[in-house]
Structure 1
């Protein structure tokens, strides 16, 4: 079981690091837009769309890795003072009530939206250059699937901690 948990952690890390490379074209596009707009007074029609698409992909694909590293928001007022076992119990309950239902809903709806987008080869109506949206809409359910897998791994670790078992990373 520990091997499977480590494999899920590696998948989350790989996805996050692979998509982190999107920062380079994102910053490049923004830099180009600033120079074009303020130096040459010739703004682009594509830089804003490209930037929010790349940032959106980067953001959602990094969510599973953030979960694996315990980087998501947590209210530590009470939690920090709990024993390891009690933290495990709280985490188990919160995963069941607050994590899995919305992530499953987002995954299911994300697959539906992506499939519909692919079926009509959807393009952006907002941008003048009309970039395709279906690749971007495909990234979301993929990210939710990886996040769900990482959530299962974290849930198993929390369950072990709640039972008083030793937790391995």
Structure 2
């Protein structure tokens, strides 16, 4: 679990650092457009790709830190072991089947873009689309690994099998 959690943290940090070039590109575009009256042809595509990569690569870290949004009026009043059982149910019944269906589809979508040389078609820059789709595959694979880690963690808490200090605090 620690290895999977560390991997999620690493890619979450990478996702956070993607905001730096995104802000730089947007500032550069504003400068070019309004000061030089010469907008770039590539900033739109690059910015939406960086924004999406930021969100996608952070999925696993969000799950690791239980930072997803939910209405927790009732949830927070439940005992820790029961909350873990509820989380375990949703991980196994909702997230696992979703990942089982989406990962192969995303992989085939990326592979088709690679083999056909598909381009974005959004601007005159028109970069290949497969690297962007590879980020989709990678991010959902990381999410799947983090789901595995969370399932193990929630089973330990639910069955009270030597929970770690962090799990006792929750």
Same fold (TM over 0.5): yes
Count of aligned residue pairs for this structure pair: 165
Structure 1 residue 165: Cα displacement = 2.8
Structure 1 residue 54: Cα displacement = 0.8
- TM-score using structure 2 length: 0.92
Any gaps of 5 or more consecutive residues in structure 1? none
User: For the residues of structure 2 that align with 1:86 and 1:107, how far apart are their CA atoms?
Assistant: 30
Task: Please provide the CA RMSD for this pair.
Answer: 1.3
Match of 2:17 in 1: 21
1:49 aligns with 2:45: yes
1:100 aligns with 2:96: yes
Match of 1:72 in 2: 68
- TM alignment of 1:76-95, pairs within 5 A: 76-95=72-91
- CA deviation map 1:129-149 (0-9, x unaligned): 111111110111111111000
1:35 aligns with 2:31: yes
- TM-score using structure 1 length: 0.92
- CA deviation map 1:15-71 (0-9, x unaligned): 121233222221111001111111222111111110000111111111101111111
Name the SS of the counterpart of 1:161 in structure 2.
helix
1:138 aligns with 2:141: no
Any gaps of 5 or more consecutive residues in structure 2? none
Name the SS of the counterpart of 1:147 in structure 2.
helix
Name the SS of the counterpart of 1:62 in structure 2.
helix
